[in-house]
Structure 1
Amino acid sequence: MQDHSPSLLADGYEQPLDLTRADTLRAEVCCSSALSFLMEAHDGLSAAIAERAGFKGLWASGLSIACSLGYRDANEASWSHLVDAVERIVDSSRLPVLVDGDGGFGNFNNARLLARKLRERGAAGVALEDSCFPKLNSFVGDRHPLADVDEFCGRLRAVKDTVANELVLVARIEALIAGHGMHEAIARAHAYQEAGADAILIHSRSSSADEILSFADAWQNRLPVVIVPTKYYRTPTCEYRRVDISTVIWANHSMRAAAAAMRRVCGRIFAEENVAAIEPDIIPLEDLFELFSYDELAEAEARYLQPNKLQH
Structure 2
Amino acid sequence: MLRAQVCSTGELSFLMEAHDGLSAAIAERAGFKGLWASGLSIASSLGYRDANEASWTQLVDVVERIVDSTTLPVLVDGDSGFGNFNNARLLARKLRQRGAAGIALQDSCFPKMNSFLGERHPLAEVDEFSGRLRAVKDTTGPDLVLVARTEALIAGRALDDVILRAHAFADAGADAILIHSRKSTADEVLSFAKAWRNRVPVVIVPTKYYRTPVSAYRDARISTVIWANHSMRAAIVAMRRACDRIIAREGIASIEPHIAPLEEVFQLLRYDELARAEWRYLYPDDPRK
TM-score of the two chains, using structure 1 as the length reference: 0.91
1:86 is matched with: 63
SS in 1 for 2:206: coil
**1:47–1:58 CA contact under 8 A, matched in 2:** yes
* Alignment deviations for residues 271-310 of structure 1 (CA, whole Å, 9 cap, x no partner): 1101000000000000111111111111111111111114
Separation in structure 1 between the aligned mates of residue 48 and residue 158 of structure 2, nearest angstrom: 31
1:167 is matched with: 144
Q: 1:269 to 1:190 in 2, by over 3 A?
A: same
Gaps of 5+ in 2: none
1:1-312 alignment to 2 at 5 Å? 24-31=1-8, 33-310=10-287
* Alignment deviations for residues 161-218 of structure 1 (CA, whole Å, 9 cap, x no partner): 0000110000001000001121111000000010000000000000010011000000
Partner AA of 1:306 in structure 2: Y
Higher mean alpha-carbon deviation, 79-88 vs 288-297, is at: 288-297
1:16 is matched with: none
SS in 1 for 2:109: coil
Separation in structure 1 between the aligned mates of residue 94 and residue 272 of structure 2, nearest angstrom: 33
Higher mean alpha-carbon deviation, 141-150 vs 36-45, is at: 141-150
How far did residue 144 of structure 1 move?
0.5
SS in 2 for 1:95: coil
Give the number of the structure with larger relative contact order, counting CA–CA contacts within 8 Å between residues 6 or more apart: 2
**2:9–2:221 CA contact under 8 A, matched in 1:** no
Separation in structure 1 between the aligned mates of residue 213 and residue 120 of structure 2, nearest angstrom: 28
* Alignment deviations for residues 18-74 of structure 1 (CA, whole Å, 9 cap, x no partner): xxxxxx000111135100000000000000000000000000000000000000000
Separation in structure 2 between the aligned mates of residue 294 and residue 29 of structure 1, nearest angstrom: 33
Q: How many matched pairs?
A: 289
1:4 is matched with: none
Q: Percent identity?
A: 75
**1:203–1:227 CA contact under 8 A, matched in 2:** yes
Separation in structure 2 between the aligned mates of residue 180 and residue 28 of structure 1, nearest angstrom: 29
Separation in structure 2 between the aligned mates of residue 211 and residue 32 of structure 1, nearest angstrom: 19
**2:131–2:172 CA contact under 8 A, matched in 1:** yes
1:8 is matched with: none
Separation in structure 2 between the aligned mates of residue 143 and residue 202 of structure 1, nearest angstrom: 18
* Alignment deviations for residues 78-99 of structure 1 (CA, whole Å, 9 cap, x no partner): 0001000000000000000000
SS in 2 for 1:137: coil
* Alignment deviations for residues 95-137 of structure 1 (CA, whole Å, 9 cap, x no partner): 0000000000000000000000000000000000000000000
TM-score of the two chains, using structure 2 as the length reference: 0.99
Separation in structure 1 between the aligned mates of residue 87 and residue 42 of structure 2, nearest angstrom: 19
Higher mean alpha-carbon deviation, 141-150 vs 57-66, is at: 141-150
* Alignment deviations for residues 209-256 of structure 1 (CA, whole Å, 9 cap, x no partner): 001100000000100000000000000000000110000000000000
* Alignment deviations for residues 117-160 of structure 1 (CA, whole Å, 9 cap, x no partner): 00000000000000000000000111300000000000000000
Gaps of 5+ in 1: 1-23
SS in 2 for 1:52: helix
* Alignment deviations for residues 4-24 of structure 1 (CA, whole Å, 9 cap, x no partner): xxxxxxxxxxxxxxxxxxxx0
The structure 1 segments of at least 4 consecutive aligned residues displaced by more than 4 Å after TM superposition are none
Separation in structure 2 between the aligned mates of residue 310 and residue 155 of structure 1, nearest angstrom: 60
**1:35–1:246 CA contact under 8 A, matched in 2:** yes
Pairwise CA RMSD: 1.0
